[in-house]
Amino acid sequence: MTDAAPQAVKLAKPRSQWADVWVQFKSHKGALVGLFVFLSLALFVSVGPLVWTKDPTFINPDAVTMIKTRNKPPSWEFPLGTDQLGRDMLARMMKGGQTSIAVGLTAMVISITLGTFIGVMAGYFKRLDNVLMRLTDLFLALPLLPLLLVMAMLFRAPLSKAFGPEGGTFLLIVVAIGLTSWMQAARVVRGEVLALKEREFVLAARSIGTPSRRMILRHVLPNVMSPIMVAATLGIANAIITESALSFLGLGFPPDFPTWGRLLFDGAEYIQQYPERVIWPGVAISLTVLSVNYIGDGLRDALDPRIRGR
Amino acid sequence: MKLKTALLGAACAFAFAPAAMAERGADGNVKVLYSQAVSIMNAYLSSGTKDVEVGSLVLEPLAGFDEVGTIFPRLVTEIPTLENGGISEDQTSVTWKLKEGILWSDGTPFTADDVVFTAAYCMDPAGGCAQLAKYEGVKTVEAVDPLTVKVTFTGPKPNPLVAFVGAESPIIQKAQFANCLGAAAPTCTDANFKPHGTGPFYVTDFKVNDSVELAANPNYRDPAKPNFATLSVKGGGDAASAARAVMETGEFDYAWNTQINPELQAQMQSGGKGQFVTGFGTLVERIEMNMTDPSPDLPEGERSTAMHPHPILSDVNVRKALSMAIDRSLLVEVGYGASGRPSCNLVPAPAIYASPNTDCMTQDMDGAKALLDAAGWVVGADGVRERDGKRFKLVYQTSVNPVRQDFQALIKGWWNELGVEVELKTVDAGVFFGGDPGSPDTFQKFYADVEMYANNFPGTDPEPYIVAYTCDKAPRPETQWQGENINRYCDPVFDELAAQLIQTKGEAERAAIVIRMNEMLTKDTYTIVPLVDRGRLSAHSNTLGGVVLNVWDSEMGNVENWFRVK
């Protein structure tokens, strides 16, 4: 009898994909804690030195004072103690973390980009498959350390000349680690792509004439995101540890340039008397690796539409 | 009174000594740990110290060196000298008189033929004898009679007692090695692993790169020795774990080369289970100054060669200032503790060859700054000195080693205070000392401004070591970058002294020349800046007696006198 006024349909705000991902990510406790820890570490190494302004390489020029401040336990003056030359461990941890985290992230980005590119190419284009996978096998068979030795010998001098000793070494190390650790990612991605290619939605997309470039970016890549994420998180850990090994062999950064790996190796000699000197960098490396792993785990779940929302 | 005390002391010594050294083999087993495992018992096929030293338990030279570097007879009746006619007047031959009645461990007699054979074995052109340098200049070795050996040289030799002296040139048994000459040498595994010797022990079991079991030689010339019936040598681990095995867990009685940081030394020593023994030889940790320009802008083949003098370090006052800024006692305290002492000399020992030079002992930062100011290097805006637009920047390289990295950090700090910019570089020890002419990172190529390492000379004669700094011994492309004159030091006066030294006979005159040459390299020109005289550090348990650390010969040189403290 009355014209019912058309009820305004209240449409829920369309949910964006990334909001969904965040909701799912939030529900993963480990990932949240991991994110918190990683951000704290990042803040510690980036903002820390602005607050704690001691010079990490400062050695007291006065011999008597220097002898007195060697191997100090934690105190208000030196919150993490001092090393065998009286250098402040807290400042060294901050400075070392900058390098280690930067090396880890950059090398991971290089290796994942390369691994994903090669994996997708090999999986998607049948013609390239054989060539690229044999190349992967070849790289897997290469002994890593001699290869790095050769790279360091050939490129160290020109790179340090162009970018300074620290910049040159940084570039050399991240490229060297990136170039020698993409193979696992490539293999995993190729396997996933091969399986995806046979799925109906890919067939459907192809039937409407989607070009390869769009197919890869739109349909394939988003679906192989989860293995890539896992490989990436493992890659960061790997890169930090490889950098430590290189520093130990004298191929890494100059010795007065602290990194977590170098601090660990320097402290190893004193492990019996001053275990905290190994514990600080050891805990920092472990926390970084662990937190990044949890973040990766949470991201994988959040990015997978089949898990999301359950 | 004094005489009485002395007599009493002597009586006591006689009363107690026999208790410890009663008869052969009375003290059971002694365990020795070498942190580098032994791979062969024949010193002629390995230059590794561990092989030479463990080999010296079995094989003996004609004469050895004692702990102060004095030569003493082992298998001969006396040391040949000019006075007793053992060394010919023109110094072209040496005659050794062998002791009578010495037997090999298999019971056959030791004769002059074995000595002649030993020389032939090492000097065989087809064999790669690791100790060939010991036989340099030897023309012939002949057996005059079964107990007399005559060594003739190609020319007069100022120091003729090199061959058959010291653990590096022991006598091997002719009967056992007869088929092992030349290229066949490495194939005689049984002889190389279980040689018959004249020493206090013989091998009962040999595991390559693992362990050696030895037993007292039943035919050893002193019937009361050795005191131990068996000796086990185990290899592997590192210096710290070796020290721990003796000083803390007590698993071993003796550990070789336990070079660990001073704090750990003190901590282990306080455990009371054992003690460290130190002996100072000729090993000197030093900074070498590059007299040529290592700039990467120069083409390969000209870089670090005499073609281009160093733009900064060519000035002696600059080098002197860099040396004056260093506090050597602090370096010793941080790096070596009891096993090091500050040194200003390249040749720190034997005593008669050591210069009394101590001018570098105290740090003088103000003096160093004044020297640089006077040399025209003025402090620029960012605290780095400059002269004519050229920055005072040095690349300072060394091998990877925790102590060296600490030294680098400390010295960089002092040099920074002087207004010198320092870039540190470390190279893997295998590459740094590897001598590969294709690598840019070897210490011989010296593509850096200053570098730090340690070097010494074997035996007690510094001649070959010091004459290595003549102009023609500089590493350069024509010599495949080989040569001992790392600094490319070149002074005609020095070359003349070197030529003079080679021809000089008397020990006192030789010592005077060596001291002069040493001072020319160190306090006159600061081409070489010595830092620390490094000693040998080994550890033995408190229950092992008779240990004397000998740095001039094998550490096992007096093993027959070791005994169990009861």
Query: Is A85 within 8 Å of B410 when comparing Cβ atoms?
Result: yes
Query: Is B440 within 8 Å of A251 when comparing Cβ atoms?
Result: no
| pLDDT tens digits, B258-311 | 888 888 888 888 888 899 988 888 889 999 999 999 988 888 888 999 899 999
| pLDDT tens digits, B69-128 | 888 999 999 999 888 888 998 889 999 999 999 999 999 999 999 999 999 998 888 877
Length of chain A: 310
Query: Is A255 within 8 Å of B405 when comparing Cβ atoms?
Result: yes
Provide the 3-class DSSP secondary structure of residue A278.
helix
Spatial separation of the C-alpha atoms in residues B541 and B72, rounded to whole Å: 28
Query: Is B334 within 8 Å of A153 when comparing Cβ atoms?
Result: no
Tokens representing A130 are: 């054989």
pLDDT in the model for residue A114: 93
pLDDT in the model for residue A113: 93
Q: Regarding beta strands B230-235 and B29-34, do their DSSP bridges make them parallel or antiparallel, or are they unpaired?
A: parallel
CB count within 10 Å of CB B411 equals 24
A6: confidence class by pLDDT, cuts 50, 70, 90: low
Spatial separation of the C-alpha atoms in residues B151 and B119, rounded to whole Å: 10
Which stretch of DSSP H or E encloses residue B431? helix B429-432
| pLDDT tens digits, A34-48 | 999 999 999 999 998
pLDDT in the model for residue B17: 46
B85, B106 Cβ separation under 8 angstroms: no
Instruction: Report chain B residues whose CB lies below 8 A from the CB of A270.
Output: 261, 263-264
Tokens representing A253 are: 């950064």
Please tell me the distance in Å from B412's CA to the nearest CA on chain A. Answer: 9
Query: Is B441 within 8 Å of A153 when comparing Cβ atoms?
Result: yes
Residues in Cβ contact with B483 at an 8 Å cutoff, skipping those fewer than 6 apart: B444, B468, B473, B474, B475, B476
| pLDDT tens digits, A215-263 | 888 888 888 887 888 788 878 878 887 887 777 676 778 888 888 888 8
pLDDT above 90 for A308: no
Residues facing residue B231 across a β-bridge: B30, B214
B243, B255 Cβ separation under 8 angstroms: yes
Residues of chain B with pLDDT under 50: 1, 8-21
Per DSSP, the residues of B56-116 read: TTT---SEEE-TTS-EEESSBSS---TTTTSB-TTSSEEEEEBPTT-B-TTSPBP-HHHHH
Instruction: List the one residue out of B566, B558, B563 whose CA is nearest residue B56.
Output: B558
CA quadruple A72, A78, A79, A84: dihedral sign? negative
Instruction: Report chain A residues whose CB lies below 8 A from the CB of B426.
Output: 250, 254-255
A80, A72 Cβ separation under 8 angstroms: no
Which stretch of DSSP H or E encloses residue B535? strand B528-541
Q: How many helices (H) and strands (E) does chain B have?
A: 15, 21
Taking any CB pair shorter than 8 Å as contact, residues of chain A touching chain B are: 57, 59, 61, 63, 66-67, 70-71, 84-85, 87, 149, 153, 157, 161, 165, 248-251, 254-256, 266, 269-270, 272-273
Delimit the domains of chain A by residue range: 20-48+86-303
Query: Is A84 within 8 Å of B399 when comparing Cβ atoms?
Result: no
A209, A143 Cβ separation under 8 angstroms: no
Spatial separation of the C-alpha atoms in residues A155 and A58, rounded to whole Å: 30
pLDDT in the model for residue B551: 86
CB count within 10 Å of CB B542 equals 14
Please tell me the distance in Å from B140's CA to the nearest CA on chain A. Answer: 47
CA distances (Å), origin B128, targets A100, B164, B170, B305, B312 = 48, 18, 16, 32, 43
Provide the 3-class DSSP secondary structure of residue A65.
helix
Q: Could you give the percent of chain A with pLDDT greater than 90?
A: 20
Spatial separation of the C-alpha atoms in residues A265 and A270, rounded to whole Å: 10
What is the Rg, in whole angstroms, of the alpha carbon atoms belonging to chain A? 25
pLDDT above 70 for A309: no
Instruction: Report chain A residues whose CB lies below 8 A from the CB of B409.
Output: 57, 59, 85, 87, 255-256
Compare CB distances from B424 to A248, A249, A255 and report the shortest one's residue. Answer: A255
| pLDDT tens digits, A28-84 | 888 899 999 999 999 999 998 888 888 888 888 777 787 878 888 888 888 888 888
Instruction: Report chain B residues whose CB lies below 8 A from the CB of A71.
Output: 263
Instruction: List the one residue out of B507, B517, B537, B450 whose CA is nearest residue B91.
Output: B507
Give, in degrees to the nearest 5, the angle at Cα B534 between B528 and B538: 160
pLDDT above 60 for A1: no
Instruction: Report chain A residues whose CB lies below 8 A from the CB of B431.
Output: 149
Residues facing residue B278 across a β-bridge: B537
Q: With a cut of 0.90, is the ipTM above it?
A: no
The mean pLDDT of A201-207, rounded to a whole number, is: 90
Query: Is A249 within 8 Å of B333 when comparing Cβ atoms?
Result: no
Please tell me the distance in Å from B517's CA to the nearest CA on chain A. Answer: 32
Spatial separation of the C-alpha atoms in residues A69 and A86, rounded to whole Å: 5
Instruction: Report chain A residues whose CB lies below 8 A from the CB of B417.
Output: 61
Chain B residue with Cα closest to A158: B296
Please tell me the distance in Å from A201's CA to the nearest CA on chain B. Answer: 55
pLDDT in the model for residue A76: 84
B405, B415, B421, B447: best to mutate for the A interface, most A CBs within 10 A: B405
Spatial separation of the C-alpha atoms in residues B26 and A75, rounded to whole Å: 56
pLDDT in the model for residue A7: 65
Query: Is A254 within 8 Å of B423 when comparing Cβ atoms?
Result: yes
CB count within 10 Å of CB B508 equals 8
Instruction: Report chain B residues whose CB lies below 8 A from the CB of A247.
Output: none
| pLDDT tens digits, A109-127 | 999 999 999 999 999 898 9
pLDDT in the model for residue A4: 55
Instruction: Report chain A residues whose CB lies below 8 A from the CB of B362.
Output: none
Compare CB distances from B424 to A84, A254, A270 and report the shortest one's residue. Answer: A254
Spatial separation of the C-alpha atoms in residues A224 and A116, rounded to whole Å: 9
pLDDT above 60 for A5: no
Q: Regarding beta strands B528-541 and B274-289, do their DSSP bridges make them parallel or antiparallel, or are they unpaired?
A: antiparallel
Q: Which spans in chain A are helix H? A: 17-26, 29-46, 48-51, 63-68, 89-124, 126-141, 144-179, 183-197, 200-207, 212-214, 225-249, 260-268, 276-303
B545, with CB counted inside 10 A (0-12, 13-18, 19+), is middle
pLDDT in the model for residue B321: 93
Per DSSP, the residues of A21-42 read: HHHHHHT-HHHHHHHHHHHHHH
Chain B residue with Cα closest to A83: B406
The CATH superfamily of A20-48+86-303 is MetI-like (1.10.3720.10)
pLDDT in the model for residue B267: 86
Provide the 3-class DSSP secondary structure of residue A286.
helix
Q: How many CB pairs under 8 A join A and B?
A: 72
A153, A154, A259: best to mutate for the B interface, most B CBs within 10 A: A153
